[in-house]
Structure 1
Amino acid sequence: MHPDPRASRYALAAVLLLLAGTALADSDGDRPVTAKVGGRLHWDIARFDNDARGTPNADDADLRAAWLDLSGRFYGLGYKLEADFAGDEVLARDVYLTRKFAAGTLTLGQFKQYVTLDDRVSSNHTVFVERSYLGQALAPTYRLGAAWLSARDGYTLGGGVYSLESIDVWQTRGRAAAMRASHAPWREAGHVLHVGVSAAREDYDHPGAGGAAALRVRVRPAGVFSDNSRLTVLDFADGRDTRVSKASLELAGVNGAFSYQGEAAVARYADGQQTGRLTAAYLQAAWMLTGEIRPYDAKHGRFGRIQPAARGGAWEVALRYDALGGRQRVDGGPTQRDRAVDAWTAGVNWYPRPHLRLMLDYTDSRSRDRQLGTVLDRTRAVAGRLQVDF
């Protein structure tokens, strides 16, 4: 029997307030208990140009993220408590303890798993409003578990075991393990080369039956507000235990004001009677018009915050091609589902201050049924974001 998820949300909010009151009093000096308050606000808008196929998407605007976090040190342990207050319910994000050793860092609790470069970069520092299809479909994001991260001389190695449940989403049941390794042979400011690999194995318990959530890969082709154009690529909901194996390759770099990032991934789904294969890839490039250099965090194998150099702020333009496809078939039988989606996205970002950003993207997406050789939907959208973080 699972606890009421509302109780977890209320408890998390109460703990945040309690620690904010007690730990901040001890945050000065070299004391065993410290605390730092942080957060982010993301206000997103979308305007759609829908074609005649499918259900049109409605123009929308909403508070996408209203995060509050408390982090610091508690008698030799690191901690972070983070929640999102943007929706009708409070949702837990990072809620964990860490312990540093000479060889690396141990993390226990709920946190993002070590899978894909796109997911490891904070949403405060991503180039586009939306993450790639690859990151949306394959990254397990926030899950309960234990992980280890080591970093030395431009190498990182992180991995862990985790539940497919989270504090708020307990209907997805099962267990998993994942790892990610990266290397940056060049990592000077303005001259970075990053390569990486990640893999995961996830075992879902009877998805779609006995109260467990169905296992589906569903992609929003033109952002979070394009629900009416959402494409179901794979669907495993017959109550049979399902194994998922994932692997991805990363390549990224910085050359002065120019930066690039790309990944390719494959995942295989099997429940004993049917199989599915998912492929995804993206390639993006960005250019800082005002000459700033995208910073690289070699200890975590990811990119960080743009620091505007001039009083007028930093300006950036970017372009991305994004693609994802999936095939599903009964074992020994013909293909039942063969669908794909791809998109071009062009973006411009303005950074007036290091913790303030305005983003504007234009996306042209197409969803296809490859069995029928037809375009199911074409959705074009302009998406924007006002972002403040602290």
Structure 2
Amino acid sequence: MLVPTTARADDYDWLNNWPTHVQFNDGTDLGLVLRYQYDVNDFSHDDGKFTDSHTNRRKYLGFYVKKPGVYDATVYYDFQSKQWQDAFFRLQSQALFGQDFGAIRFGQSKTPVSFEGVTTSTQTTFIELALPSQAIYENRRIGIDWAILRTHWLASLGYYGENMEGKNPGHTVAARAAWVPIHAPGHVLHLGLAASQERPHGLVDALGVQQPATTSFKTPPEAGLTTVTLISSGTLTGVDHINRQGLEGLWIDGPWSIQSEYLQTQTTFNNGKPNYDINGFYTYGTWVVTGESRQYHDGNVSNVIPSHPWGAVEFALRYSELDLNDGRVFGGKEHDWTAGANWYLGTHLRLQANYIWAFSDRRGLVINPHVFELRAEVFI
């Protein structure tokens, strides 16, 4: 007979050990990918521009298979947006050459410019990405990339085309590198940079005529249940290429952390128009009041793992800024303050609350909405 000892989070199997995968004798792991998010967005001080909403945000379903040190593959689909998400196969060089020269990945995956953008949506500190991340991040594309990870540094290089929906035709070359001089549980210093060049292709219309390449940069006020934007570049035509750059930093010291990122983009045109340059940044701090730390592995952050049976509680404060004015393009300026709280219930459940104070100015039109957001999510 077992005698109960002091309760630990690991003792609560219903919170942590869900039967969602099976392991075989050779180490192969086959499992389920599930992500469900239900959001509430309530707007105020918005001059009637926004509509309150409460509905599903994401409904991911998919599968993965992996053999540690050899390969891994995953495919999943978002039934809410009706779009394919990650769908790739990755092979470790260790399995081929007996030495680790990195991993090669084929398929659809995230492009690397935006530290916050490449973080899985169930692992981000705030409900939505910051202003510059939403406007500048290129998102997922089909391609091939190489990545190598070491304890104190990492690097990647990739070539990408359009996505699995056949949108965003063209191609992108991208790279990312980071130095991690401090890398220990609960103590991390990560300093990185990323860059890419996208060369978009114009679409062929119904008459078979080739149209010029276009792009646009815009973002809602860090709210995911609206398509209303306070600032926008509008549609830019005759695009030749788009250069993106990012600088990223992360510091974790026990229950405290600071994360920041600067993003900029230069769009060039083939019709003689001057370049269009935009930039933005965000910075935020977090405090896990229950004493745990944010997790860090493989060059990215992940959720707090509770050490208490009733979970872990985290508070966060973020400032973000985006400037879409340049030359004759008056896209507007916006900066947001976001206060957030997260309650981690085991390793598969999380409740989030955010309050956003947005401040925008586009062509003299000033709109400063407040947004109250809630999210309940389940993830595997």
TM-score (norm 2): 0.86
Task: State percent identity of aligned pairs.
Answer: 24
Aligned-residue offset at 1:78: 2.5
SS of 2:134's equivalent in the other structure is helix
- 1:344 correspondence with 2:337: yes
Aligned-residue offset at 1:174: 0.9
SS of 1:206's equivalent in the other structure is coil
Alpha-carbon distance in 2 for matches of 1:254, 1:44: 28
Match for residue 293 of structure 2?
Answer: 293
Deviations 1:171-204 (A, max 9, x none): 4221111111111101112221110000010011
Aligned-residue offset at 1:375: 4.2
Q: Which structure: greater helix fraction?
A: 1
Alpha-carbon distance in 1 for matches of 2:137, 2:348: 26
Deviations 1:266-308 (A, max 9, x none): 11011132221110100000000111111111xx211122111
SS of 2:142's equivalent in the other structure is strand
Q: 1:83 aligns with which of 77, 85, 88?
A: 77
Q: 1:94 aligns with which of 77, 86, 107?
A: 86
CA contact (8 A) 1:366 1:375 kept: no
Equivalent residues in 2 for 1:1-390, closer than 5 Å: 27-30=23-26, 34-52=29-47, 55-73=48-66, 77-87=71-81, 89=82, 91-101=83-93, 102-163=100-161, 165-168=162-165, 170-206=166-202, 210=210, 214-233=214-233, 235-236=235-236, 238=237, 240-272=238-270, 273-274=272-273, 275-297=275-297, 300-329=298-327, 335-369=328-362, 372=363, 374-390=364-380
Residue-pair matches, total: 347
SS of 1:135's equivalent in the other structure is helix
RMSD of Structure 2 on Structure 1 (CA): 2.2
Match for residue 3 of structure 2?
Answer: none
CA contact (8 A) 1:345 1:364 kept: yes
CA contact (8 A) 1:50 1:57 kept: no
Which AA in structure 2 matches 1:225? Answer: L
Task: Note the residue ranges of structure 1 that are not aligned, 5 or more in a row.
Answer: 1-23, 330-334
Alpha carbons of 1:207 and 1:318: their partners in 2 closer, same or farther (altered >3 Å)? Answer: farther
CA contact (8 A) 2:57 2:225 kept: no
Aligned-residue offset at 1:50: 3.3
Which AA in structure 2 matches 1:45? Answer: V
Which AA in structure 2 matches 1:94? Answer: D
Which AA in structure 1 matches 2:309? Answer: R
Alpha carbons of 1:171 and 1:125: their partners in 2 closer, same or farther (altered >3 Å)? Answer: closer
CA contact (8 A) 2:200 2:214 kept: no
Alpha-carbon distance in 1 for matches of 2:122, 2:109: 16
Aligned-residue offset at 1:160: 0.2
SS of 2:228's equivalent in the other structure is helix
Deviations 1:347-385 (A, max 9, x none): 11111222110000000112212xx5x343211100110
Alpha-carbon distance in 1 for matches of 2:295, 2:322: 28
CA contact (8 A) 2:261 2:283 kept: yes
SS of 1:137's equivalent in the other structure is helix
CA contact (8 A) 1:45 1:62 kept: yes
Which AA in structure 1 matches 2:300? Answer: R
Alpha-carbon distance in 2 for matches of 1:282, 1:336: 23
SS of 2:216's equivalent in the other structure is strand
SS of 1:117's equivalent in the other structure is coil
SS of 1:124's equivalent in the other structure is coil
Aligned-residue offset at 1:225: 2.3
CA contact (8 A) 2:233 2:329 kept: no
Alpha carbons of 1:294 and 1:93: their partners in 2 closer, same or farther (altered >3 Å)? Answer: same
Aligned-residue offset at 1:233: 2.8
SS of 2:116's equivalent in the other structure is helix
SS of 1:120's equivalent in the other structure is coil
SS of 1:290's equivalent in the other structure is coil
Aligned-residue offset at 1:234: 5.0
SS of 2:338's equivalent in the other structure is strand
Alpha carbons of 1:188 and 1:211: their partners in 2 closer, same or farther (altered >3 Å)? Answer: same
CA contact (8 A) 1:359 1:384 kept: yes
SS of 1:71's equivalent in the other structure is strand
Task: Note the residue ranges of structure 2 that are not aligned, 5 or more in a row.
Answer: 1-20, 94-99
CA contact (8 A) 2:214 2:239 kept: no
Alpha-carbon distance in 1 for matches of 2:287, 2:265: 32
Alpha-carbon distance in 1 for matches of 2:130, 2:326: 22
